[in-house]
Chains A and B, each alone.
Chain A
Amino acid sequence: MKTMGSLSLLLACLLCAAIAHASEADHVHASAAWIRVLPGSLPAGGYVTLRNDGDQPATLQGASSPAYTSVMLHQSSTDTGMGRMRMVGQLVVPAHGQVALAPGGYHFMLMGAGKPVQPGQSVQVTLHFADGSTLATDFQAKPANAL
């Protein structure tokens, strides 16, 4: 009886610890990840849909890739008739919600490809979250005129 009680307490504690230690990245699922490849050494746009199945919001703070020297989080806007781009420090994926990095809005700007990336290739991009957790995601390289 006593052993049983201790055992369930131990299990409960382990479960609590597991939940407490589940990182932001553990709850985020990436889909539809792709890169629009432009000719030469021109910067490319990266897109992905992020779904958060956790009870807490997950905060994307940036990304990195072995294929590019720099990956930055940007946001485009054309609302005033002017096409503009601004750097974004972080992007929150709401609890039980999703955020799309999509053409004409939030996107990654990937610069300085070590070797030219060809359409059809798969490029790994690691997403960095505010709690230090990371999510490695395969981005599909697509031609410039992909929609």
Chain B
Amino acid sequence: MKPLRLARLVLLLGVVLLLAACHRQDALPWRLTNVSGHMPDLAFQLTDDHGKPVTAEDYRGKVVLLYFGYTHCPDVCPLTLAHLHAVLQRVGAKADDARILFVSVDPARDTPAIMHAYVNAFDKRAIGLVGPPRAIEALSKRYRSAFTREPAQGNGQYEVSHSSAIYLFDRQGQARLLATPATSQDDLVHDLYLLLETGS
């Protein structure tokens, strides 16, 4: 009688632990780098590509893909944004609840108008954000990102080196996942779908 009781108790405990594990969001089968709890919530005060002041609160309820770049970047930035567009297309109608926030690290050249034309050439769900250097630096530092304006070339043109990471936030604005330009489209589609499914 006694050993049977113990066995039942152990079994019950096992089931409880299993259920608890299933209910923990960390247990979701993410393919990207899980940064839940390791990075601060989305917070900023910037200007969108319509020239309207916006804060992170304006995007609560949406899954956000945050990426730093600049419009005079002819190769890596367009490649990354083209990839994100392809990922949103593959996710389908559900991706209408996602927003790509493209934050300019080139405040000297990127105006809301230029940003508007730029982001819309990639995806209608992309928003260009600009702001004073101090606000951009603060947001960049918040996510341990960095950018450096390189010395100008003879023709006055200059490049801006910048972190190439893509940060994914859930509908509550919590930092959840980290991707890089090398991340496969399949993995991004998989995790973005999962992120859109949870907490909708």
> Hey, which bits of chain A sit against chain B, CB under 8 A?
36, 38-40, 42-45, 70, 74, 76, 78, 81-85, 87, 103-104, 107, 109-111, 143-147
A90 to chain B, nearest CB (A): 17
B24 to chain A, nearest CB (A): 29
Q: Is the CB of B181 within 8 A of A42?
A: no
Q: Is the CB of A45 within 8 A of B78?
A: yes
* Known contacts A76-B75, A85-B76, A147-B82; A40 and B181 CB within 8 A of each other: no
**B123-151 with Cβ < 8 A to chain A:** 123, 146
What's the tally of chain B residues with a CB closer than 8 Å to chain A? Answer: 34
Q: In whole angstroms, what is the CA distance A45 to B78 when docked?
A: 9
B103 to chain A, nearest CB (A): 13
- B121 on the interface (CB 8 Å rule)? yes
Q: In whole angstroms, what is the CA distance A107 to B79 when docked?
A: 12
- B122 on the interface (CB 8 Å rule)? yes
- B169 on the interface (CB 8 Å rule)? no
- B71 on the interface (CB 8 Å rule)? yes
Q: In whole angstroms, what is the CA distance A83 to B86 when docked?
A: 21
Stretch of B10-18, B57-65, B91-99, B159-167 on the interface side? B159-167
Q: Please, which residues of chain B bring their CB within 8 A of the CB of A111?
A: 155, 157
A-B contact pairs, 21 of them (CB 8 A): A40-B114, A42-B71, A43-B74, A45-B78, A70-B155, A74-B75, A76-B75, A78-B182, A81-B180, A83-B76, A84-B161, A85-B73, A85-B75, A85-B161, A143-B121, A144-B82, A145-B78, A145-B123, A146-B82, A147-B82, A147-B86
Q: In whole angstroms, what is the CA distance A70 to B74 when docked?
A: 14
B9 to chain A, nearest CB (A): 50
Q: Is the CB of A36 within 8 A of B117?
A: no
- B81 on the interface (CB 8 Å rule)? yes
Q: In whole angstroms, what is the CA distance A87 to B75 when docked?
A: 13
Q: Please, which residues of chain B bring their CB within 8 A of the CB of A145?
A: 78, 81-82, 85-86, 121-123
